[in-house]
Amino acid sequence: MIKKTLMTLSLAVAMTLGSFGGGIAFADEEAVNHGKTVAFNRQKGNCLSCHMMDDGDQAGTQGPPLIAMKLRFPNREDLRARIYNPLEFNPNTIMPPFGLHNILSDEEIDAIVEYLYTL
């Protein structure tokens, strides 16, 4: 059910982006793959514990679904800042400040942003 919903939403977003004539720019495949690995890793990003995303199994429901990320965060730095220190945007968030607390390196956060921009 989750995969079907994500596929439907992804298709709708792709069609919408295509109708604006901009298309979707693809990021460096190596960075995207590294970002997905870090995001799915239980000892690192563990994004699936709270977010529904891509083809992850047993996705969490406490955070918003990670879809249409380019539309939601047209400025890459805004998305990166929310991963680095979400407390800056919402002091009551339960999302860990991955960069601020050195849970993830700057390189890992950048890779996750590259991956999320493909969703």
Domains along the sequence of the chain with CATH: 2-116 (1.10.760.10)
pLDDT for res 5? 46
pLDDT for res 54? 83
For 12-56, the pLDDT digits (tens) are 444 444 433 333 444 589 999 999 999 999 999 899 899 998 888
Mean predicted lDDT score pLDDT of the chain: 82
pLDDT score of 96 more than 80 = yes
Q: pLDDT above 90 covers what percent of the chain?
A: 66
pLDDT for res 64? 92
pLDDT for res 94? 94
- pTM comes to 0.75
Distance between CA atoms of 77 and 9, rounded to whole angstroms? 24
pLDDT score of 66 more than 90 = yes
Distance between CA atoms of 91 and 95, rounded to whole angstroms? 10
- DSSP calls for 16-39: HHHHTT---PPPPHHHHHHHHHHH
pLDDT for res 15? 40
